Structures are given as C-alpha cells and as structure tokens.
Amino acid sequence: MKNKKHYVIVGNSAAGLAAARSIRLIDAQGKILVLTDEEGPAYSKIMLPLFIGGQVSREEMVLAPESFYRENAIELKTRAKVQGIDISHCSLSLENGEKVPYDELLLATGASPYLPPIEGIHMPGVYPLRTREDAERISAALSCIQGEAVVYGGGLVGLKCLEALFNRVGRVRLIVSSDQILSMMLDRTAAAIFQTRLEANGIKVHLQTELVACRGKGSLEKVVLANGQEIPCGLMIVAKGVVSNMQMIAGTSLRAEEGILVDKRMATGNPHIYAAGDVCQPDDLLGGGKRQFPLWPLAVEEGRVAGANMAGVSQVFSGGIRMNAVELFGLKVISMGITETQPGPLVTSQSRQDGAGYRKIILSGSRLKGCIMLGDINGGGVVESFIRSQQEVDEFFIRKVVAGSVSYAHRLWPRGGRK
Ligand SMILES: Cc1cc2nc3c(=O)[nH]c(=O)nc-3n(C[C@H](O)[C@H](O)[C@H](O)COP(=O)(O)OP(=O)(O)OC[C@H]3O[C@@H](n4cnc5c(N)ncnc54)[C@H](O)[C@@H]3O)c2cc1C
C-alpha cells in the first residue's frame, strides 16, 4: 500500500489555501502540491479595489507569505496553467505539456470576469478587475488618465471599483443595466438610499442602460450608450459578473451547470476529484437546489471541507448563502439570503426606515430567510445565526430585529410568548 497520498490543488487563493491547510492539519505526511497560473504569493482579491484606490500596498494584499508554504510543507508551482484532466490515469496536463499525477485532486480555479461582446471591449483603457495584474494595470493607467472614469456594472464589485476610482480620481460615473444598483444585495428601497448617497457625492448613475461600444484612437476616449449618447472617458472598469474557470473539465464525466456540481462533501461525481470556491456550484442553504455563491468566506469554508474529505475525515458543507457585510461611500450594509418577497411560501416581510437607516427581514412562517440592514446594522450577527440555523422565532424577536435592538440574549430564548 502507498503510504503517502499525493494531493494536488489547482488554485492558490481562498478555496485552495483553505484546503491545503485543512489537509495538512489531518495528514502530516502527504505530499501537497498547489498549482496556479499566476505569479507571486497568494493575495486577497477583496483588497484589489483598495489597492487601486491607493489605500493598501501590494505587500498588504499578500495572504500567504513564502513561510506559509514552507512551514506547512506545501509545494507551490506558479505559472502552471492546467489545461485538462485525464481521469482514467489520475493526471493533469499543463499548458507547457507537463503531466501531473494525483491521488486526490481539488479544483479551486475560481472564476473570471464576464466581458460582454461589445465593440472595443478589449481596447487599452477598458479593464476587468480580478487579478493583481489587472489592479496594477488599472492603477498605472489612472496616474495619467484624461477625463472621467466609468464603471460598467452595478453589483458589489462594481460599487467597490466605483469607490476606488472616486477616491483616486474624483470624476466617476456608473452605468447599470438593471433598474437599480446592487440588485443581488438590496431591494428597491435600500438601493434608492444608496443611489442618493452616490449622487450626493457628485456621481452620475445611469440605470437601465446598456453600452454598445468603447471607442478611441489607440486607447479609450469615449463609451457609447444604447440610446446613442456618447460619454467621454479615459478609463472604464467592466464589472458584469463572473464565469467559472472550468475549461479543464471539458471532455470529462464531471457534471457542471454554471459551476462544477458538488455534493455536501464538495465531491464531484468522481470519488477522487473535489471542487470548491467560485468554480463550484454547491447546495443552497435556504433550499432550491444548487447555486453559485462567488463569495470569499464561502470559498474558504468549502475549501476547508473539501480538504478534510480529501484527507479522509468526513465533513459536510452546510450550504451556500448569499451574504455581504460592507461599507461603501460611508454607508454600512449587511445583506443576507433572500431580500425580496417572492411568490409562494415566502410571503412576509417587515421593515423600518428612519433617520438611522433601513432594516428589513424576510420570513417564511416563523423562520428568517433573509435581511437587509443599511446604516443601522445592529444585531447583524444574531440575525445571521438565525438564518443559518433556521431556528423558529416569535413576534417579540421579530420586533426586536426590525427595531435594531436584538442581542445575543435573544439568541438563547427566541420563542416564549413574550409581549
Ligand atoms: C474586486 C473584487 C472584490 C471582491 N469583494 C468581495 C467581497 O467584498 N466579499 C466577498 O465575499 N467576496 C468578494 N469578492 C469575491 C471573492 O474574491 C471570491 O469569491 C474569491 O476570490 C473566490 O476564491 P476562489 O479560491 O474560489 O477563486 P479565486 O480567488 O478566483 O482564485 C482562483 C485561483 O485559481 C488559479 N487558476 C485559475 N485557473 C487556473 C488554471 N487553469 N490553472 C492553474 N491555476 C488556475 C488562479 O490563478 C487563482 O490562484 C471580490 C472579488 C473581486 C474580484
């Protein structure tokens, strides 16, 4: 019997590193190889907008220094792009022709920005933001930008980019296809409060607007909207969502929809191949099948669970849930789970809006299914624990949550006929 397992992890970021750490905690002897197609040490993608905005340095974004790999006996191979998997021979093929054998394989390859097929989308001056290299290119371009900067896409990444550009160059504009900003995180009321904050900072927001072209001689000089309007600008960040990096499973028996389908152990249909992070599609904690959750904390948790199972200790992932806690343009916001009532059993919502902010919870019967807290984020952790556990709550508790006066004491006695 072979005594040392050979673990191969493709991806040197949130999910991949969490898996490597999890394996090493269980198996001190196994050989762990991490492959990445990037250069340099692992870094926090969440901090990329802060780097562009000039708030953090390249060094401050580093997640795992060289000592992490050395101390955990993890071999890191950079600039190693995986192209395919030969499942029958348990081996990976790299772009340079090299073959890498594995006993247990984790695909933690994340996702890449979606670039809509419009004229000029690849021209200099138009950038996605996903990697440190993207951020460095944007940062260099900003030091000699002529005119305004534009962000195309009104989701969380788009808004973070908008704030970074605002901090760096001041003159920024947001173009959004949908009829509200942050449509995956906020309802219309909260989105309108947010938009008012952007406009108070002098930012022009275009809703329900599509771009049809990026034009310029040599580099970006203007973008053209579907209504024919031309907006002069020197730089644009495209933040229109992501697509999973799963080209390497083409031609294999692994099943995928938007991401690679995994079970609660983060295993694919093959007993020696796992997937975690943005590349996978796990169970939804709130029901309704499998969904993608491109979020850092979930990538870490999925990686941790996958690593444990690869090393032979059975663990399960409780399911993905959309959750964000951020501060943008000075407004604190927590958004979790379902944020709009839907036809069917999700019928109730309760909310409060006043000078302190806006709070809303979504209920199905006596169970919390989601919340939005804007401005007043008191008790966010308590609400999260109830959404995750799906423990029942009573009217008293609901009133406390909506009022913003819920605390961990209420976590112990969520029901009980109080007035
Ligand atoms: C600007 C920005 C802001 C964000 N802000 C937030 C936030 O506030 N909150 C939040 O929860 N999430 C945020 N996210 C999302 C978060 O960063 C991702 O969910 C997280 O990075 C996913 O981690 P991952 O390990 O699955 O994949 P990734 O971080 O994408 O890493 C993928 C790894 O796989 C490697 N790789 C890919 N393909 C190959 C290949 N073929 N061969 C070899 N290596 C390969 C890459 O080099 C990389 O090492 C943000 C993302 C961005 C870009």
What does each of the 419 residues of the chain score in pLDDT, given as a tens digit?
A: 457 999 999 999 999 999 999 999 999 999 999 999 999 889 999 999 999 999 999 999 999 999 999 999 999 999 999 999 999 999 999 999 999 999 999 999 999 999 999 999 999 999 999 999 999 999 999 999 988 999 999 999 999 999 999 999 999 999 999 999 999 999 999 999 999 999 999 999 999 999 999 999 999 999 999 999 999 999 999 999 999 999 999 999 999 999 999 999 999 999 999 999 999 999 999 887 999 999 999 999 999 999 999 999 999 999 999 999 999 999 999 999 999 877 676 667 888 888 888 999 999 889 999 999 999 999 999 999 999 998 899 888 889 899 888 876 666 565 554 54
What is the Å distance from ligand 1's center to 294 Cα?
8
- Residue 279, pLDDT score: 98
What number does the ligand 1 atom closest to the CA of 81 have? 42
Q: What is the pLDDT of residue 2?
A: 59
**Contact 290 CB / ligand 1 (< 6 Å):** no
- CA dist 148 and 106 (Å) reads 43
Give the mutation target among 17, 33, 44, 46 for probing the ligand 1 site: most ligand atoms within 8 A of CB: 46
* Distance (Å) from CA 272 to ligand 1 centroid: 23
Q: What's the per-residue H, E or C state across the chain? A: CCCCCEEEEECCCHHHHHHHHHHHHHCCCCEEEEECCCCCCEECHHHHHHHHCCCCCCHHHEEECHHHHHHCCEEEECCCCEEEEEHHHCEEEECCCCEEECCEEEECCCEEECCCCCECCCCCCEEECCCHHHHHHHHHHHCCCCCCEEEECCCHHHHHHHHHHHHHHCCEEEECCCCCCCCCCCCHHHHHHHHHHHHHCCCEEECCCCEEEEECCCCCCEEEECCCCEEECCEEEECCCEEECCHHHCCCCCCECCCEECCCCCECCCCCEEECHHHEECEECCCCCECCCCCHHHHHHHHHHHHHHHCCCCCCCCCECCEEEEEECCEEEEEEECCCCCCCCCCEEEEEEECCEEEEEEEECCEEEEEEEECCCCCHHHHHHHHHHCCCCCHHHHHHHHHCCCCHHHHHCCCCCCC
Show me where the domains of the chain are located: 6-112+242-310, 115-238, 330-412
Q: What is the pLDDT of residue 346?
A: 63
CA of 131 to the centre of ligand 1 (A): 8
At which residue do the structure tokens 């006043």 appear? 354
Tell me how far apart the alpha carbons of residues 166 and 168 are, in angstroms, rounded to a whole number: 5
**Is residue 127 classed exposed, middle or buried when 0-12, 13-18 and 19+ CB atoms within 10 A define those classes?**
buried
**Closest ligand 1 atom to Cα of 16:** 25
CATH number corresponding to 330-412: 3.30.390.30
Q: Is the Cβ atom of 281 under 6 angstroms away from ligand 1?
A: no
CATH class of 6-112+242-310: alpha beta
pLDDT for position 345: 66
Handedness of CA 149, 154, 158, 164 (dihedral sign): positive
pTM exceeds 0.85: yes
Fold: same for 6-112+242-310 and 115-238: yes
Residue 13 Cβ inside 6 Å of ligand 1? The answer reads: yes
Question: Which residue owns the Cα nearest ligand 1 atom 30?
Answer: 110
Q: Which residue has its alpha carbon closest to ligand 1 atom 35?
A: 11
Superfamily of domain 115-238 in CATH is FAD/NAD(P)-binding domain (3.50.50.60)
Give distance in angstroms: CA of 35 to centre of ligand 1: 14
Please tell me the distance from the alpha carbon of residue 167 to that of residue 161, in angstroms, as a whole number. 10
Question: How many CB atoms sit inside 10 A of residue 95's CB?
Answer: 12
Ligand 1 contacts CB of residue 16 (under 6 A): yes
How far apart (Å, rounded) are the C-alpha atoms in residues 414 and 410?
6
How far, in Å, CA of 143 to CA of 38, rounded? 25
Check pocket membership of 77 for ligand 1, CB cut-off 6 A. no
Q: Is the CB of 35 under 6 A from ligand 1?
A: yes
CA of 63 to the centre of ligand 1 (A): 12
- Whether ligand 1 lies within 6 angstroms of the CB of 145 is answered as no
| pLDDT reported for residue 355 | 82
